[in-house]
Structures are given as C-alpha cells and as structure tokens.
Amino acid sequence: MITKVTCALIEQYGRVLITQRSETMPQAMLWEFPGGKVEDGETEEACLIREIKEELNLSITPKKRLTPVVQRYGDKTIELIPYLCQYNGGTIKLAEHRSYHWVVPQDLANYDWCPADVPIMQEFVALAGEQFSS
C-alpha cells in the first residue's frame, strides 16, 4: 500500500515556507514542506488546503503540481505529491511542528531534509533559477 501525502511549497516575496518536524513525529527534527496524508475521497488540493489550515493556520491556493516522489521508509511507502501554492492570508500558528523558516531558494540545500523532499527541493530550486534567468 502506498500512502499519498501532499506537500505545499508556499511562496511569498521570493521565499518558500519550510517546517521542521517535532521530536514526536515520524522523521523527527527533519525539515519538510508542510502537508499531510490524503483522506479517502479527498482531492489532493482539498487535502493541502485542509492540512495547511490545521497545521499552520494559513489560507493557501494550490496552483501547480510538481513531480511526485515515491519513498520507502522501513515497511511503509509514501508518494509525496508537491504543489506550488499561493499564500492568501493568515498568521502562522504552529500546531504540530517545532519550527518554521521562510527561505530563499539558494539556502534550501543547507537544511537537513526528509529524504522524500530532496528531489522536490531540487526541482523547486531549478524552477526558481529559470525565473531569474528569463
């Protein structure tokens, strides 16, 4: 069974929001793009809107699906599905995470990431580079 997990790349003023998982979560202390498991009958976009509201108290709109990553963690396999998202409003209140940072693309590689997020972070950095060169 593959568990579908969505994650949001929320952009504002040239920075993207990343969150650090807490001591008690799986993949403890590692950095990720916030999101969560898709529930039965739920669209990926609806999942993201719900998770980002629950976890961070932010309102977002998913805009563009990037490339999903399939990752095995022990006896579990997840498909991590990233979306570029627009920030609509709200002030961050952390419900589950330890910390958050707004990061410029060139600094993203300096963080200790959940393994599944590494290719997604790299795709985002490449996309951000294209924007500046065009």
Total interface residues for ligand 8DG by CB under 6 A: 18
Residue 101, phi then psi, degrees to nearest 5: -135, 145
Q: Are 118 and 126 in contact (CB under 8 A)?
A: no
Q: Does residue 116 touch ligand 8DG according to CB under 6 A?
A: yes
Q: Does residue 80 touch ligand 8DG according to CB under 6 A?
A: yes
The one among 35, 62, 68, 105 contacting ligand 8DG by CB under 6 A: 35
Q: What torsion do the CA atoms of 124, 50, 78, 75 make, to the nearest 10 degrees?
A: 140
Q: Are 2 and 70 in contact (CB under 8 A)?
A: yes
CB of 133: closest distance to ligand 8DG in angstroms?
A: 27
The one among 15, 36, 46, 66 contacting ligand 8DG by CB under 6 A: 36
Structure tokens at 133: 């060169």
Interface residues for ligand 8DG in 47-76 (CB under 6 A)? 71, 73
Which residue type, as a one-letter code, is found at position 12?
A: Q
CA distance linking residue 21 with residue 93, whole number of Å: 14
By beta-carbon proximity to ligand 8DG, the closer residue of 56 and 80 is: 80
* Close Cβ partners of 19 (under 8 Å, ≥ 6 residues apart): 31, 32, 33, 34, 55, 56, 94, 97, 99, 100
Q: Does residue 44 touch ligand 8DG according to CB under 6 A?
A: no
Q: Does residue 18 touch ligand 8DG according to CB under 6 A?
A: no
Using the rule CB under 6 A, give the single segment among 25-33, 60-68, 101-109, 126-134 that binds ligand 8DG: 25-33
Binding site for ligand 8DG (CB under 6 A): 5, 7, 25-27, 32-37, 71, 73, 78, 80, 114, 116-117
